[in-house]
Structure 1
Amino acid sequence: MKIIVDADAAPVKNEVIQLAGEYNLPVVFVSNIAHYSLASYPDYVKTIYVEKGADRADFKIVQLANKGDIVITQDYGLASLLLPKGCRVAHHLGYEYTNENIERLLQNRHLGALKRKSGERTKGPKPFTEANRQQFVSFFKQLLEE
């Protein structure tokens, strides 16, 4: 089992690194080359950069993911591709994508896109808070213990 992170906009990288180290699990960050970083990570963390382009990181994550892996992403579409592979897919707000909730999440995303396309202004995501971070850590620990 490995942990794969859709790393372009993941606000919980440090928490994932720390917890993965405690559980002795490898971590793979997948990111667009436009988000290249000189950050150094422990030996159990690997960073893969993909070319610029729509969904390139998502395609790489699908290619890398295997049954039993944990993937962290905020992308509902990517989550919907990983669930049939037998991956556990988590959001950084501390919940898991499941076969029971993915359809509703995708439908809500689609409805939001239709509203924006018609010119309606919609609110963006709320800022990530310390409470969100703590919720993720608690959720992620529980996920790792299962």
Structure 2
Amino acid sequence: MLQNPVRVVVDADACPVKPEIAACVRAAGTRALLVSSHAHVLHAEEGVDVVTVDASDQAADLYIANALKASDILVTGDYGLAALGLARGAAVLTPRGKTIDEENIDELLAQRHFSAKQRRGGMRTRGPKPFTDEDRDRFQQKLTKLLRRLQENSFA
């Protein structure tokens, strides 16, 4: 048994790669925790635990921020939650397979702030590009490599 088991914690409300996460954790012999609001019905399965929080604003983010450990991998597209995950020592990956770390979080947060400011001022901003099969594949490859690396480090 691992000293610090690696767990994948997922901001699951809008996460398009839940099946890939389940497959990756089963293959790696670890677990995932999907956190969502009551508005999204998720079901536990082999290797995957589900926590449902109330529908209040930020309830899932607060639950995740309090549950994260340094040995966890956080999957989220929310840069604010990603910053909290990094502060807790977690590795952070977006559903498109982008690694968020101390090197890029400040720029990502600044971009988010700038876009929100433009929207409040009445400007229209571009939404995200459509999610593709290439995004899905990239995510699964990155998560598999990250799980392997963190599991190897947990033996040390």
Q: Distance in 2 between matches of 1:57 and 1:123?
A: 25
TM-score (norm 2): 0.89
Residue identity (%): 37
Give the SS at the match of 1:34: coil
> What is the count of residue pairs matched by the alignment?
144
> Which residue of structure 1 aligns with residue 18 of structure 2?
13
Q: What's the Cα RMSD here?
A: 1.0
The answer to whether residue 89 in structure 2 is matched with residue 86 in structure 1 is yes
Equivalent residue in structure 2 for 1:95, among 94, 98, 102 = 98
Q: Which runs of 4+ in 1 moved over 3 A?
A: none
Matches for 1:7-46 after TM superposition, within 5 Å: 7-37=12-42, 39=43, 41-42=45-46, 44-46=47-49
Kindly state the Cα deviation for residue 40 of structure 1 after the two structures are TM-superposed.
Answer: 5.1
CA distance in 2, matches of 1:51, 1:6: 14
Segments of structure 1 that go 5 or more residues without pairing to the other structure are none
Deviation at 1:82, TM superposition (A): 1.1
Q: Would the aligned equivalents of 2:44 and 2:50 in 1 still touch at CA under 8 Å?
A: no
Mapped to 1, the partners of 2:90 and 2:34 lie a distance apart of 16
* AA at the equivalent of 2:45: Y
